[in-house]
Amino acid sequence: MSRKFLMLISILLVLAVLFTGCSSQTSTSEKKILRTNNSSEPGSLDPALAQGTHESWILENCFEGLMTFDENGNLVEGMAESYEISEDGLTYTFKLRDGIKWTNGDPVTAHDFEYSWKRALAPETAANYASILYYIKGAEDYNTQKATADDVMVKALDDKTLEVTLEAPTAYFLELTAFYTYFPVNKNVDESNPDWAKDPSTYVCNGPFKLIEWKHNDEIILEKNPDYYNASKIKLDGIDLDILEDQNTAWQKYQGGEYDLLVDVPTSVVDELKSKNDPQLEIGLQVGTYYYNVNPAVKPFNNAKVRKGLSMALDRQTIVDKVTMGGQIPATGVVPPGMKDENGDDFREVVGELVKYNPQEAKRLFDEGLAEEGMTVEDFNNQGFVLLYNTSESHKKIAQAAQEMWRTALGIEIGLENVEFQVKLDREQSGDYQISRAGWIGDFMDPMTFLDLWWSDSAFNDVKYNNPQYDALLKQAKSTNDQKVRMKAMKEAEKILMEDMPVIPVYFYTQPYTVKSYVTGIIKVPVRYPIITYADMTK
């Protein structure tokens, strides 16, 4: 009898332990954990090797550069406490904050920064994004094996002072130091274990959150970093990011209450929410332009009037309203809205509408251009020209709309051809195309992030645009920190570019995302994915 009694007691005890276990579970669920979807598996969580938003969204929460974006979306000092810029705008001296630490307890020093930037530039590292460090004197030469690491002009003068010398005055250099390729990595950790970024247990970072778990293709878990110097500003206890590629499934999960925020929202859903004026939907600004490359090596596309005719025949308002439907903005130039000029006015607004829809004028210009090339519309149609795009439902719909608009306004037939994006790149490279789809997302908040694309030597200049006048203006803008001079030159440059129309801008990207009503503090800086670092939840 007593034995049975003992057994009963022990069962009860075990149950009690189990239930206490459960109740402590309940208290963890009261923690503020933001749940969302990262939509793609990161290729690497090493800042030097990261390539896109599916990596940077996590890195920006785990790391912090010399500068950073604050809870209002302003660029402020991050790891740096202060900075000084020399008269000539070439030398930057950063003083680091006191008490900044890595997640393993080491202090963050200027040596870490020097080490990290040189590491990202090292040819052996083969960082895809190394070119964003080329503003630093000697950086490009080191990356292309024409110089050594010692020639890169970034130097830790002591633990707290970092001196950087640039190739040329760069008005947006401070903002670049908030970009992920400029994030520091822990020198000691990287030297002793180069594979530290592959495993959460060896992952060392310096930002508001730390990496707790990385289940490949499944889930990434971040936890608040209590040692972060600005931890009082961070309201979340953690961020859980699913890695779920399918947009529709992700949307179902958001709707089912499994996510608090969703960035990659299916187009059909955006359209529906927009028409219902649903308060969950935010259409964030993004600095990106969707455009068509026109190959000037193919007659009659060498003629600017032909290119301008094609451009003027596009009814961009209809394309964004009826085709893309994600709240995009009809393009009026190559530089998207959101960038400020020297007076704090919007660059786009000040420069004005350089691209217009005008079917009559389009037809007139197009025919005139054709005649100058000794061609008729019939000759044109006999050539079998095609618009090349990489296979995707959305590119296809836009291409079909453009095809129809060209047919109606100009009476021309342009075929459509879709290929895999790698094949498209290959054909663009070899000049084997007439018109091809392209797009560009800016890296920093300065018109130069777009205008630089068509500088004659640019690696991204697909159409091989070459106008000495344009180059001279860009050179002028790159030679000074005087915003007045820079902006004037860039405004002039954009006008010249749109007069020559080597590319036909279609629309400016936007970034629609949905947020549950109880989530606050999500900010959208145009050059970033929505910033979730300072989010709060009042559920």
Nearer to another protein, 28 or 248 (CB): 248
Compare residues 242 and 500 and give the one whose CB is closer to another protein.
242
Taking the complex as a whole, the smallest distance from the CB of residue 65 to another protein amounts, in Å, to 20
Nearer to another protein, 123 or 279 (CB): 123
* Beta strands 209-215 and 238-242, pairing class: unpaired
* CB-count burial class (<10 Å; 0-12, 13-18, 19+) for 138: buried
CB of 310 or CB of 474, closer to another protein? 474
Q: Output the DSSP codes for 290-320.
A: EEEEE-TTSTTTTSHHHHHHHHHT--HHHII
For CA atoms 9, 14, 15, 17, give the dihedral sign. Answer: positive
Sole residue written with tokens 């390729």: 181
Tell me the sheet residues that pair with 419. Answer: 390
Whole-number minimum distance, CB 257 to another protein, in Å?
Answer: 10
Shortest distance in whole angstroms from residue 423 CB to another protein: 5
Q: Given the complex with another protein, which of 130 and 487 has the nearer CB atom?
A: 130
**Which tokens in the block code for residue 190?**
């990287």
Pick the closer one to another protein by CB: 16 or 126.
126
H or E stretch at 117: helix 110-121
Cβ atoms within 10 Å of 190's Cβ, excluding its own = 19
* Complex with another protein: residue 156 or 261, whichever CB lies closer: 261
Give, in order, the Cα–Cα distances in Å from 119 to each of 116, 139, 142, 194, 203.
Answer: 5, 11, 11, 11, 17
Phi, psi torsion values for 210, nearest 5 degrees: -125, 155
For the bound state, the minimum distance from the C-beta of residue 487 to another protein, rounded and expressed in Å, comes to: 26
* Residue closer to another protein (CB basis): 158 or 199: 199
Is residue 250 within 8 Å of residue 244, measured between CB atoms?
yes
Query: Given the complex with another protein, which of 108 and 243 has the nearer CB atom?
Result: 243
Cβ-contact 402, 396 below 8 angstroms: no
Q: 37: closest CA among 529, 442, 438, 414?
A: 529
Q: State the nearest-atom distance from the C-beta of 421 to another protein, in Å.
A: 5
d(CA 315, CA 318): 6
Check if the beta carbon of residue 120 is closer than 8 Å to that of residue 149.
no
Contact between 47 and 116 (Cβ < 8 Å): yes
In the complex, what is the shortest distance from the CB of residue 265 to another protein, in angstroms, rounded to a whole number?
16
Q: What are phi and psi of 339, to 5 degrees?
A: -95, 135
In whole angstroms, the minimum distance from the beta carbon of 477 to another protein comes to: 21
Write down the least CB distance from residue 366 to another protein, Å: 30
Residues found near another protein in the complex (CB under 8 A): 41-46, 49, 51-52, 123-128, 130-131, 143-144, 197-198, 215-219, 242-246, 248-250, 252-253, 255-256, 258, 390, 420-423, 425-427, 439, 441, 459-460, 462
Q: Taking the complex as a whole, how short is the minimal distance between the CB of residue 205 and another protein, in angstroms?
A: 15
Least CB distance to another protein at residue 215 (A): 7
User: What whole-number distance in Å separates Cα of residue 328 and Cα of residue 336?
Assistant: 11
524 neighbors 284 (Cβ within 8 angstroms): yes
d(CA 125, CA 122): 5
Contacts of 61 (CB under 8 A, 6+ apart): 207, 208, 209, 222, 239, 532, 533
Which residues 6+ apart lie within 8 Å of 275 measured at CB? none
The minimum distance between CB 244 and another protein, in angstroms, equals 4
Minimum CB separation from another protein for residue 140, in Å?
Answer: 8
Nearer to another protein, 165 or 390 (CB): 390
Extended beta strands in 5-90, E state: 33-37, 67-69, 75-77, 80-85
CA dihedral in degrees (478, 484, 487, 488; nearest 10)? -100
